[in-house]
Structure 1
């Protein structure tokens, strides 16, 4: 599970980096920069939602246990 979370975070950071790259580029090679940037940001949102759902499912199925302060 730790490796999956690490891989997801790296994917999220990679898509943010590519969005930054497309934002800073001048829209060369015939494609406007906004479509590439929007696609990269959409990937980031999708990966973030997928990571959240996977962590929630892992908790519900008992693969991971919450730690920290006790509530009672």
Structure 2
């Protein structure tokens, strides 16, 4: 389960990096904006999937909060 969480977190950071590269890209403005918007949409979708996955794993008992 930890591997899946780390993989999704890495995908979120990768999508954010892709948006940054698209922002700094040398293409025309319309293409740059479209690529950046698509990368940010992927980041939002992956973040929501990660959050829902953590909630599901907690409900199923696969992960448990620390009793600190």
TM-score in terms of structure 2 length = 0.90
Aligned to 1:33: 32
TM-score in terms of structure 1 length = 0.86
User: Where does the alignment leave 5 or more consecutive residues of structure 2 unmatched?
Assistant: none
- Over 3 Å off, 4+ runs: none
| Secondary structure of 1:63's aligned partner | coil
Q: Summarize the alignment of residues 14-53 of structure 1 with structure 2, pairs less than 5 Å apart.
A: 14-28=14-28, 32-53=31-52
RMSD: 1.2
**How many aligned positions are there?**
67
More contact order relative to length (CA 8 Å, sep ≥ 6):
2
Larger Rg: 1
Q: Distance in 1 between the 2:35 and 2:7 partners? A: 22
